Amino acid sequence: MIDNDKQGPLVGELSESLEDYIEIIFKLIESHKIARVRDIAKAKEVKMSSVVSALKRLGVAGLVKYEAREFVELTETGADLAKTLLRRHNFLTQFLVDVLQVDPKTAEHDACQMEHAISLKTMQQLYKFAEYLREGPHDLSKIIEGFRGSAYQDPSD
């Protein structure tokens, strides 16, 4: 659950939309070995012209390499940013599910919203808190079980 990495380049400096593009491109390259404008547009549910506009901004920022009618590539900085964003997302999802007992579908949705809004400082504190829970002088499973059975837990869950 823990992520001790330093925050990557540009985390929190791009718009939520541009961060989403970086993540989508990374995932497409990981799963399909390539990222095409039409695949990015489909994944983001936008028009191809919107993707091209975003790619131009990401190119100026030094995060992607793209020429018209070519595949999209992430620069080393872009790939590092994508990995950091995905680690944040995965950490938040797992924290919500494992510690707060949020159902996985809701946790996935909420983590997607949170990862773009949460400050770097608060994210670091969440990492530290999760580490404390994991390695501290207490039994995390007992804490979670106590929470699950408490009046503080939503009985509909």
- Same domain, yes or no: 29 and 42: yes
| Residue showing tokens 């950490």 | 91
At 9, the amino acid letter reads P
Q: What integer pLDDT is reported at residue 2 of this predicted model?
A: 42
Residues 91 and 139 placed together within one structural domain of the fold:
yes
- Classify residue 22: in a domain, yes or no: yes
| pLDDT bracket for residue 13 (50, 70, 90) | confident
pLDDT of residue 79: 96
What is the CATH classification number for the domain harbouring 21?
A: 1.10.10.10
Instruction: Quick: pLDDT tens for 64-102.
Output: 999 888 999 999 999 999 999 999 999 999 999 988 889
142 and 95 in a single domain? The answer is: yes
Number of domains comprising the chain? 2
Q: Do the domain assignments include residue 63?
A: yes
Q: Are residues 30 and 69 in the same domain?
A: yes
The gap between the terminal CA atoms of the chain, to the nearest Å, is 22
Strand partners, 65: 73
Strands (E), the chain: 64-65, 73-74
Single pTM value for the model: 0.79
Q: Which of 6-20, 30-44, 81-95, 117-131 has the lowest mean pLDDT?
A: 6-20
What pLDDT sits at residue 101? 87
**For residues 69 and 119, what is the distance between their CA atoms, to the nearest angstrom?**
37
Do the beta carbons of residue 72 and residue 40 sit within 8 Å? yes
Answer yes or no: do 56 and 106 share one domain. Answer: no
Please report which residue ranges of 4-75 form alpha helices under DSSP H: 16-32, 37-44, 48-60
Q: How confident is the model at residue 4 (pLDDT cuts 50, 70, 90)?
A: very low
Which structural domain range is residue 128 located in?
Answer: 83-148
